[in-house]
């Protein structure tokens, strides 16, 4: 690996890069320190309280993969909607995401490594397999570009690693989406997040306008339904190619995976669909935790290849 240093530690910078900046290696640490001041204040409870605090999230993961629609939780947005949003904190319920390095070079493939540690700073090594994987890793730049859905592997010491290439400079958000067992054996779904710095000239991209049709590769994906604040509503996604409906294949135990990121703070929602297709469409149930803009990323598989369709949704 070349370029940036390797600062460690469990701080949670959540600053928003909204103007053009130059992130030089020599000032990356200063940038991180400034961003830390904007970290969201989340209460961290002892591991023994997880079963109560996140009972809803745990219940979501007692089913076989892909058999019930659900949202990955790990906290609430603090509003009056009651909807769950996660990924805003590096530490939740006594568990902390600890990346080996927070600064990555631009454009080079490197091994991204991290651990999940408990309240006693011991690496966690036991994770439930949910949707065919024990760890789902999501990466996106803070302007909501560059989305990646990856699946790292874990070493015996609890260190996860995965090759990653971040093609553009800026601040990137890393989410770890996983399920483990509390002291009573109850499955607990958590999403922890941390910012990564890629040094260089940051030229943010404007959020695309809201639309219900997305083009990806040679596929057209149409979204039906309207997301509402605090209300559970269906969203259906119809995939076509050259006017015909291709055969959608199960990917990670489901016909599709939907990640929603909230513009502004990058609050995270990971929603899974109903077990079966509905008139050939993938159907999700989504509750928007607040008004504002969201970027939706739909993963689907055809002929053994995974494709990602992206949508902007505005919630009133």
Tell me the per-residue pLDDT of 266-294, one tens digit each, with 9 for 90 and over: 999 988 789 999 999 999 999 999 999 99
Residues of the chain with CATH 2.60.40.1940: 213-315
DSSP for residue 280 = T
Tokens (6 digits) for 70: 């659900």
pLDDT of residue 49: 32
CATH 2.60.40.1930 boundaries in the chain: 21-202
CB contact at 8 A, 223 and 306: no
Quote the pLDDT of residue 83: 52
Tokens (6 digits) for 280: 């050939």
User: pTM for this one?
Assistant: 0.77
Q: How far apart are CA 135 and CA 130, in angstroms?
A: 8
Q: What is the mean pLDDT of each run of 10 residues along the chain (316 residues)?
A: 36 39 37 33 31 32 38 41 76 96 96 97 96 96 98 98 97 97 92 97 95 97 96 96 96 94 94 91 95 97 98 96
Tokens for 248? Answer: 């959608």
Q: Tens of pLDDT along 58-85?
A: 333 333 333 344 444 444 333 333 457 8
CATH number for the domain whose boundaries are 213-315: 2.60.40.1940
The per-residue pLDDT for 217 is 96
CA dist 18 and 224 (Å) reads 31
Rounded Cα distance, 185 and 82, in Å: 26
> Any idea which fold 21-202 has?
Immunoglobulin-like (2.60.40)
């Amino acid at each position: 690996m070349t370029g940036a240093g390797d600062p460690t530690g469990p701080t949670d910078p959540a600053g928003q890069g909204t103007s053009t900046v130059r992130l030089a290696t020599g000032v990356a640490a200063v940038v991180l320190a400034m961003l830390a001041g904007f970290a969201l204040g989340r209460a961290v409870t002892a591991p023994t309280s997880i079963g109560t605090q996140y009972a809803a999230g745990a219940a979501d993961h007692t089913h076989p993969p892909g058999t019930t629609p659900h949202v990955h939780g790990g906290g609430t947005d603090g509003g009056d909607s009651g909807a769950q949003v996660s990924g805003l904190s590096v530490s939740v319920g006594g568990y902390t995401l600890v990346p080996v390095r927070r600064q990555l070079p631009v454009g080079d493939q490197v091994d991204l490594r991290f651990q999940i540690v408990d309240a006693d700073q011991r690496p966690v090594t036991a994770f439930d397999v949910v949707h065919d994987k024990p760890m789902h890793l999501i990466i996106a730049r803070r302007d909501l570009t560059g989305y990646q859905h990856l699946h790292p592997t874990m070493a015996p010491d609890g260190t996860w690693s995965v090759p990653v290439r971040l093609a553009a400079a800026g601040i990137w958000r890393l989410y770890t989406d996983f399920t483990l067992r509390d002291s009573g054996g109850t499955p607990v779904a958590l999403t922890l997040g941390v910012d990564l710095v890629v040094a260089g000239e940051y030229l943010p991209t404007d959020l695309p306008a809201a639309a219900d049709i997305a083009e990806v590769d040679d596929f057209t994906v149409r979204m039906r339904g309207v997301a509402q604040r605090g209300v559970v509503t269906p969203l259906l996604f119809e995939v076509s190619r050259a006017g015909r409906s291709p055969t959608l294949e199960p990917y990670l135990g489901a016909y599709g995976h939907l990640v929603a990121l909230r513009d502004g703070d990058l609050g995270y929602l990971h929603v899974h669909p109903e077990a079966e297709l509905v008139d050939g469409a993938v159907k999700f149930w989504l509750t928007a935790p607040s008004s504002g803009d969201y970027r939706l990323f739909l993963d689907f598989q055809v002929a053994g290849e995974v494709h990602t369709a992206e949508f902007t949704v505005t919630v009133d």
